A and B are shown apart, each in its own frame.
Chain A
Amino acid sequence: MKRCLLMLLCCLPAAAQQRRSSFEDMARETQALQRDDATNPAMLWVQEGEALWSGAAGAAGFSCASCHSAAETSMPGVAARYPAWDDARGAPIDLAGRIAQCRAERQGAPPLDRESPGLLALSAYVGLQSRGLPIAPPDDPRLAPAVAEGAALYAERRGQLDLSCAQCHDDNAGRRLGSSTIPQAHPTGYPLYRLEWQGLGSLQRRLRGCMTGVRAEPFRYGAPEYIAIEAFLMRRAAGMAMETPAVRP
Chain B
Amino acid sequence: MARVLINIPREIHAGETITIRTLIQHGMESGYRPGADGNVVPRDILRRFTARFDDEPVFAAEFSPAIAANPFLSFTMVVAASGTLTLRWEGDNGFDQTETRRIAVA
A interface residues, Cβ below 8 angstroms from B: 38-39, 41, 43-45, 47-48, 195, 198-199
B interface residues, Cβ below 8 angstroms from A: 3-5, 7, 21, 23-25, 27-28, 68-70, 72
Closest CB-CB distance, B68 to chain A, in whole Å? Answer: 6
Closest CB-CB distance, B12 to chain A, in whole Å? Answer: 16
Question: Measured between alpha carbons, how far is A48 from B25 in the docked complex, in Å?
Answer: 11
Partner of A44 from B3, B7, B68 at Cβ < 8 Å: B3
Q: List 22 A-B contacts (CB under 8 A).
A: A38-B7, A38-B21, A38-B23, A41-B23, A41-B25, A41-B69, A41-B72, A43-B5, A43-B23, A44-B4, A44-B5, A44-B24, A44-B25, A44-B70, A45-B3, A47-B3, A47-B5, A195-B68, A198-B27, A198-B70, A199-B69, A199-B70
Question: Measured between alpha carbons, how far is A45 from B3 in the docked complex, in Å?
Answer: 8
Question: Measured between alpha carbons, how far is A79 from B27 in the docked complex, in Å?
Answer: 28
Q: Which residues of B contact A44 (CB under 8 A)?
A: 3-5, 23-25, 70
Closest CB-CB distance, B6 to chain A, in whole Å? Answer: 9
Closest CB-CB distance, B101 to chain A, in whole Å? Answer: 14
Q: Which residues of B contact A199 (CB under 8 A)?
A: 69-70
Contact between A38 and B5, CB atoms less than 8 A apart? yes
Q: Which residues of B contact A195 (CB under 8 A)?
A: 68
Given contacts A41-B72, A44-B3, A44-B25, 13 further A-B contacts (CB under 8 A): A38-B7, A38-B21, A39-B21, A39-B23, A43-B23, A44-B4, A44-B70, A45-B3, A47-B3, A198-B28, A198-B68, A198-B70, A199-B70
Contact between A48 and B68, CB atoms less than 8 A apart? no
Given contacts A38-B21, A41-B23, A44-B23, contact A198 B69 (CB under 8 A): yes
Q: Which residues of B contact A48 (CB under 8 A)?
A: 3
Residue of A whose beta carbon sits closest to that of B21: A38
Q: Which residues of A contact B70 (CB under 8 A)?
A: 41, 44, 198-199
Question: Measured between alpha carbons, how far is A45 from B72 in the docked complex, in Å?
Answer: 15
Q: Which residues of B contact A38 (CB under 8 A)?
A: 5, 7, 21, 23
Q: Which residues of A contact B7 (CB under 8 A)?
A: 38
Q: Which residues of A contact B25 (CB under 8 A)?
A: 41, 44
Closest CB-CB distance, A73 to chain B, in whole Å? Answer: 24
Question: Measured between alpha carbons, how far is A154 from B63 in the docked complex, in Å?
Answer: 44
Q: Which residues of A contact B28 (CB under 8 A)?
A: 198
Question: Measured between alpha carbons, how far is A38 from B21 in the docked complex, in Å?
Answer: 7
Question: Measured between alpha carbons, how far is A195 from B5 in the docked complex, in Å?
Answer: 18
Question: Measured between alpha carbons, how far is A44 from B70 in the docked complex, in Å?
Answer: 9
Closest CB-CB distance, A122 to chain B, in whole Å? Answer: 14
Question: Measured between alpha carbons, how far is A44 from B7 in the docked complex, in Å?
Answer: 13
Q: Which residues of A contact B24 (CB under 8 A)?
A: 44
Residue of B whose beta carbon sits closest to that of A51: B3
Question: Measured between alpha carbons, how far is A241 from B69 in the docked complex, in Å?
Answer: 28
Contact between B3 and A39, CB atoms less than 8 A apart? no
Residue of A whose beta carbon sits closest to that of B69: A198
Q: Which residues of B contact A198 (CB under 8 A)?
A: 27-28, 68-70
For A38, A39, A195, which residue has the most chain B Cβ atoms within 10 angstroms? A38
Closest CB-CB distance, A247 to chain B, in whole Å? Answer: 11
Closest CB-CB distance, B78 to chain A, in whole Å? Answer: 20
Contact between A39 and B72, CB atoms less than 8 A apart? yes
